[in-house]
Every structure is written in C-alpha cells, then in structure tokens.
Amino acid sequence: MFRIERLSLSEAIDRGVWRRLNPSSVYLSAEWLCAFDDPTVAECVVHIAEQGEELIAALVTHTMHGGSANTVYDLFALSGGLFGGAREDWRPQVLVGSRLGQSNSVLVRGDLPPEVVATALRELLNSAMGKSATGVLYAPAEVASIMHHASDGRLQPVLAEVGSVLEASHISFDDYVRSLPGSKRGSVRRDLRDFGGTMSQAQLRPDSAAIPAYARLMANVQARHDQPASLVSLERYLRRCASPGLQTIVFEARHEGRISAFGLGLHHESTLWMRVVGLTYDANGSTDGAYGHVLVYEPMKYAIEHGLKKIDLGAGVSSAKRLRGATGFPLWHLIQPPASVLGVVPLATANRARAHELGLAMSELPVNVSNG
C-alpha cells in the first residue's frame, strides 16, 4: 500500500520531510536532530512512507551499538529488570523518534484519517524493527497508544515518568501569579520578594564566553543526580544546543556579579521547552531561591512576552514545580526487548505499581496502554 524508503538525515531534510510533517516535540525537530547527529554515537536513519507522490509518515531510528552512557536513555537501565537479560543482551539498542530529550512525538500527516496514518506507521515499524532491543522513550499517552498499536503489541508499554507543564496563556506575569491558588501564590510572592540576585535572558550562541561557567553549574546538578558530569562533554552539549536553527534562550541568575544559576529553554513554535538547569548549592542543598527563577519565573516572563501557550518543564513533577503551578501527565516508554530475552512480564501490574510510586491515579492512565 505504501512505498517505504530509507534515507539519511540530510537526505530526508533535502526531501522536505520536516516541511510536510511537523512534530509536536522540539526533540524530533530537524534542527535538534541535526545538532546532535553523531555517527560515532548512533546511526540515524529516516524511514518514510509515501503513497503516490504524497508523504504520509516518517520514522526516525537511532541505532546505538554500545547503548547509551546516560542511563535515562539506555533501554537496559530503563527496563529496570522487567524483561530480564544481561546488559550485553540489550546491545545494540534502537531508539525510535527522539534520541535526546524527555518528550517524544511522531512524524505524520495531520490531515489524514487515523486509519491511514496507523497503517503507514505499521508498515514503517515492520520495515524498521528487527530483533534488537527497541524503544520509543518518554512518549505522552497519545503517542504511546499510537505506537503501541501500530507495532501490533511488539512495543510494550512501561510507565516511565510524569511530565510537567505550565500554562503560559497569561496577559502578564502578575496575571500568572494571581492565577495560582492562595497558598502557592503566597509562596511565589515570597520567592520574588526575597530573591537577592539579578536575572537576565538572552539567546545562547555557540561562542558564548559564559558556556564554561554554565557547564560547571550543570555539573553540580548532574553530580547531585548521579549522572555523568564531564565538563568537556557538558560544554560541547551546550554549544550543540546553540546550533543554527535552534532558538535557545538562556535565563541567567547572578549574585554579587557572579553567575550563580541558569536555565536553558528551546523556543519551538508555541512552546518553551526547558532543557537543563545549572545551580549552585549551599551546604544544606539550597539554591538561595535561584531554582524557581531560572526554571519558571524568568521563562514565564519570556513565554508571555512572546505569546507562547505553555512551558514544558521536562520529566518529573517535584513539589517545587507544583508549587509554581505545574501540572503532571504520564510519560511512557514503549519497549521491545531483544529476541534473546524470553521472559514474559505482567506489565499491567508493574505499571500500576509505578503509577502509585509516581502519585498518579489509575484514571490518569489510558486503559488501552496501561493494560498492555
């Protein structure tokens, strides 16, 4: 029914794939994929489905022969022993959609009947999926449901995390503060009153003199969460975030003239995607009020000024995010274990336990996904 073709990332861009199929997530945008395209880390292939002269859907795959050094993108680590097998059984791994970023999307025509899109995705997955460990990571429920059914159940749903989002459709920053419930509104006003630093915002450039300082602040956060924290790697990452085509905004806090914290956001269509923060911690683990300013308050001012609809705060809805108005929604991993792993897992039970751990009510989980 469809003509399936495999293209390199550059070939797909030249063929206009992203002009015709616009993803909802910045992490599946052509600009983001190009910024982090690195054949030494992952082989990127774009699979397209055409019908006549019409492009119907596309699937991006990243084959990583050594898995990922970052556990938040490594299928063996993320499966948490649910499927069994040793680390080497899960090599290579194939990630579908975005490779970096805790939100996934699909590349499909939005003006076609759902059954046509579903058939195209099914044929693309049949072409792209082999017997290796394969995953669609950090997918919102709608994307998870689409991909689970398009794979005929081979991609099995594992409840991953809670994404967090802030509505930004306010007429002013004061309007945002007033929209918060009373107790939260009082806490935010105290935050704003007691902050002893100064804030600024600017577009990040690859040659920014502040990048080494930002990398050191990022390393503080990475170390706090037991993630790799090489300064060289973090500087390279920040420069890639500032690649051409990406509208990357840095929100910087200074205390006594010194950069003490920053947040990095990607302005993509009607959303500001907060990508990373870098912080200075005192002996008690406090950030002297900077966290709320670089992650929420200054980004909210930017979003309102530019008419954006929402701010995506990434995975995890901490009390600090909820305090400032964030709401949560389920994020899913869709995982095909490697063929050598034969264990059968009661995923519905595991997902219910994970929902309880994350503080999600079962009514928040789509039945057609959570029951796997």
Q: What is the pLDDT of residue 372?
A: 47
Question: Please, what is the average pLDDT of the chain?
Answer: 92
pLDDT in tens, 22-31: 888 999 999 9
Average pLDDT over residues 155-167: 94
Predicted confidence at residue 282, as pLDDT, reads 83
Q: pLDDT by residue (tens digit) across 184-236?
A: 999 999 999 999 899 999 999 999 999 999 999 999 998 888 777 799 999 99
Give me the domains of the chain, ranges plus CATH numbers: 3-162+329-370 (3.40.630.30), 169-308 (3.40.630.30)
Q: What confidence category does residue 368 fall into, taking pLDDT thresholds of 50, 70 and 90?
A: low
Task: Please tell me the predicted confidence (pLDDT) of residue 361.
Answer: 79
Polymer length in residues for the chain: 372
Q: Given a cut of 90, is residue 253 above it in pLDDT?
A: yes
pLDDT at position 201, please? 97
pTM of the shown model: 0.94
Contacts of 101 (CB under 8 A, 6+ apart): 25, 26, 27, 32, 138, 273, 275
Q: What are phi and psi of 330, to 5 degrees?
A: -70, 140
Strands 133-140, 93-96: pairing kind: parallel
Query: In the predicted model, what is the mean pLDDT of residues 243-256?
Result: 96
Query: Per residue in 144-175, is it b (16+ CB within 10 Å) or e — as a string?
Result: bbbbbebbeeebbbbbbbbbbbbebebeebee
pLDDT score recorded for residue 215:
97
43-66 pLDDT, tens per residue?
A: 999 999 999 989 999 999 999 999
